[in-house]
Amino acid sequence: MTDVRPGPWLRLTAIAAAGACLAAVISGSLQLGAAHRVLAALALPPLCAVVAAAWIAHRRLLRASGAALVSFLGAALVITRPAHLGLAGLAFAAASVAASGCFRGEPAPRAPWRDYVTLTKPRIMTLLLLTGAAGMFVGARGWPGAEVFVVTMVGLALACGGASALNHVLDRDIDRLMPRTGSRPVAGNRVAPAHALEFGLALSAFSFVLLASLVNVLTAVLALVGNLFYVLVYTRWLKRSTPQNIVIGGAAGAIPPLVGWAAVTGNLTVPALLLFLIVFFWTPPHFWALALLIKRDYAAARIPMLPVVRGDDETARQIVWYSLVLFAVTLLPFAWHTAGLFYLAAAVLLGAVFLQLAWRLRRDTTPLRARALFHFSLLYLALLFVALAVDPLL
């Protein structure tokens, strides 16, 4: 990436990092105890985001931002008060230098706001937010409350949007090789890779700050884990290296129900893991149905999706097996007394249709059958989690 002037998202993140460092210094000087520790913890995400952006796209900011992060971590490890405050003050000074550096350099062309919305993959995000909201309803055994619901949904949306934007950056080379993705903002050269990177890092950092400060730390950590798993494990590693990419990588998309559950309960128990498993086992048949439709695109980009590596017949066979497991897993919330008869009826009915479409695809592996399963799978997951959310209200 070329060294261009950081965009507004990194400038905002750098200012937030410097401001958080200052708040930590002041609260430490006033010996505010728990408040100081909270403020100090909330400074870390924006600091890490600035360092990551500097390392990848803006090397001239690396010295100041790196010094700020190292000094801040050093302050956290030092017990003696003068050294602690001194290192914290040094962190604030270095963070301020990094923030001022974000306003220097040659500006990159501005992209339309619609392209930034596209970077967040809003259609995918909608389904992720739905599963997260259902996790809240199930965990709360009803309406979780307006405040925690809104804050959690915003925080989860920021985490999902940030991960998707970073996915655009990492996949821009293969996106250009596939007609389906060639017109994406970064692949189509409408958004500079550096600016898309800054956007994704900023959303991810602010997601953690929002969830950790207004919900709970477990919720923030889970959202961050899902973000990092999708970006680093799936996008960066699995997607390009193994036909099991979507099987293992599906764990990232299964995190939102855990986020919703943790937001209202503050813990993770078996019922939450059952929601995770539903999305986890839904992902392979859903995604492989799409892969059957765009197999040539994946082959051209040298992505080892299952239809490219093993062929259509084996993919259809695997879809049937995973659909059977999915059907069984969807019955577990009822068996565990997490959901009632309304959900059970929905799970059986929707599962029966899903299995029928999967079996038809196995018998006649055509694009028409694959398209029918793919589109129904989206409706299936949405309706299943709506049933989970509604069931406690009945």
Which tens digits make up the pLDDT trace of 112-162? Answer: 899 999 999 999 999 999 999 999 999 999 999 999 999 999 999 999 999
At residue 298, φ and ψ (nearest 5 deg) are -65, -40
Which tens digits make up the pLDDT trace of 170-189? Answer: 999 999 999 889 899 999 99
Closest CA to 342 of 305, 288, 390: 390
Distances (CA, A) of 14 to 30, 100, 102, 302: 24, 9, 8, 38
Alpha-carbon distance 10 to 53, whole Å?
A: 8
CB 183 within 8 Å of CB 162: no
Which tens digits make up the pLDDT trace of 226-273? Answer: 999 999 999 999 999 999 999 999 999 999 999 999 999 999 999 999
Which tens digits make up the pLDDT trace of 10-35? Answer: 999 999 999 999 998 999 888 888 88
Band of residue 3 on the pLDDT scale cut at 50, 70, 90: low
Q: Retrieve residue 186's tokens.
A: 């970064």
Which tens digits make up the pLDDT trace of 57-101? Answer: 999 999 999 999 999 999 988 878 889 889 999 999 999 999 999
Closest CA to 333 of 253, 391, 394: 391
Determine the average pLDDT of the residues in 317-327: 98
CATH architecture entry for 109-241: Orthogonal Bundle (1.10)
Place of tokens 């993705």: 181
CB 282 within 8 Å of CB 153: no
- How much is the mean pLDDT over the chain? 94
pTM (two decimals): 0.94
